[in-house]
Each structure stands twice: as structure tokens, then as C-alpha cells.
Structure 1
Amino acid sequence: METKQTLTLIAAIGSNNALGKDNDLIWHLPADLQHFKNSTSGHHIIMGRNTFESIGKALPNRTNVIITRNPNYSVENCIIVNTLEDAIKIAENDNNPFIVGGAQIYNQAINLVDKLIITEVHKDFEADTFFPKIDKSIWKEVNRQNFKADEKNKYDYSFVTYLKN
């Protein structure tokens, strides 16, 4: 019996849907970075070129797939494609590939994915890129873990999972 693939979008967003500013993260939450690593390890991670360049290197123990319109773009240890559809096709043998950003890719992917894993950072941030609004008529919250700020994580945050209705 064939296992159905679950295509998951994973993101960390501010209370005002802020994603980033100047091609960088606005906050530093070690717990979120660990959550991202634990969730995506062993899977394909699909991202736009800007997101890849903000990370700066291929992430270990994952198949890094970069979407770019530049036909000459090349990065060691990464798969380069030109469209989100091509990226998803590359990951067809992975039972749970992840869309990891940025804003353009999230906007293209949000209606294609089966699951959202969102870290809600409980603060409004000044940003130049934003996550698309999560339409509660399409998405049902199925899990939420709330955390208070501590010595390592400067802001209150929640790990929230949504499934398509």
C-alpha cells in the first residue's frame, strides 16, 4: 500500500505575521531553531533562493531544494529547480517534505500543503516580509504548545500545528 505524502509548510511568524526583515530573521529563538531541526531532519526542505542565501549553507541531514529563476544558479550539495511544482516533484519519494520559505514561496505553497507547523512569536515586529493570513475556514488547529520567555528565548512563543479542514 502506498503511503500518502504529507506536504508541510513550516514557519516562525510574529503576532503581526512578520517573517523577516532585510532577508534575515528578526528574532533569535534557540527553541524554535531546535524545533525546526527536529521537524525537518531526514526530509527534503524546499526554499527560495533568498531564504537559502539568508541561511548561507546547505542544512545537514536534509535534502536542500532551492527554487530560483536564475538558470545559472548553482550551489554545492543542493538541488536547484525553477518552480515550486518542480521542487515538489523532486521530493515525491519523501513522505513528508517541508516548505521552509520565504514569503513568495509560502504564498505559492499555502494552498498546496496539507499541514502547517507554525511557531507563533508573541510580539509584533517591524518587518518587510510577512506570512500569508491563515484562513481558519481552511485550517484547523490540532495541536498547540505554549512557552514563556526564558534566559535563552527572549519572547513568549507557541508551536502550533494546523491541518487542512
Structure 2
Amino acid sequence: MGRQLWNFIKNFDEFAGMVLMAFIILLACANVFMRYVVGSPWGWVEEVTIFTFVWLTMFGAAAVIKAEGHCSIDVLTRKLPPGPGRIITIFGNLCTLVTIGLVIWYGTELSILATSKVTPILGIPYSLVDAALPVAGVFMFSYYLRSTWRHLTGKEEKCKMEELH
């Protein structure tokens, strides 16, 4: 049971991304049907789609970080000997951790401050949308922390994206 729970948590960002993408597609198709067949489109779909897309983007970014699939300019680190290259990589990861930490901090602050601001059609608090920053930020932070630890201990894994080529 514990292993299944850990696997669920570990893959939650990918699962959430798939569910949110499917939701956006189904909602858009349903609204097209409502517009062209029934003749009465739903006015609230745009709000929900935009908010869902925000969450999808943040969870998608976390999933790509987990797979180490983001673009990076590593010309310098590849040309350097392994020791200095590793130090530069660790420094870059630490800078990224600080940045993500700030995203979590200020995203939480933004979410708290937006509780009284609501959407025009459905009246959904913007804090639910803004919460995507700290929630997905925690996933991103943990993935970069893992990557930094692997570089520190010398247990780097080959990038999953490179294995495809």
C-alpha cells in the first residue's frame, strides 16, 4: 500500500497533466457542439479553460523537470573536465532552487491575496488559479533538489530525453 501511494505521489504531476488536458479537450468539444448544433454555447467555458490551462502548464513544467527535459545551454559544462563541469551544474541547480523557492513563496502570497478577487461569470476565486504556482512549485523544487543531490553525490543519471535519441 505504501509503495502504491508513493508511486501515485511521484507521478501525480503527469497524471494531473493528462487529466487536465483531456478535460480541456472534452470541454472545448462540448462547447463546439453546444454552439453549432444546439445554438447556445456555454459562456463559462472560456474561464474554466483558461484556469485549467494554467494548472496544466504548471504541472507540465514539473513533469518535464522530473524527466530532465527542459532545454539548457550546456556547451561550457560539456567542454570542461568533469569536476568543474559538475560544480557549474550544481551551482546552476542551486540558483534554480532559489528561484523556484521564490515562486513558491510569492505564489502562495499571491494566492492568499487573491481570495477576494473572483471571476466575472462563475465567481471562482482567483486564489484557486494562483495556487497552481506554489503547488506545482513544490513538485519542481523536489525534482531539482533530487537532481542537485545526485550531482553532489556523483550519482547522475542519464537524461531520459537523451535516451530517446
Shorter-chain TM-score category? under 0.3
- Structure in which a larger fraction of residues adopt strand: 1
- Structure in which a larger fraction of residues adopt helix: 2
With CA pairs under 8 Å and 6+ residues apart, which has the higher RCO, 1 or 2? Answer: 1
TM-score by length of structure 1 reads 0.24
TM-score by length of structure 2 reads 0.24
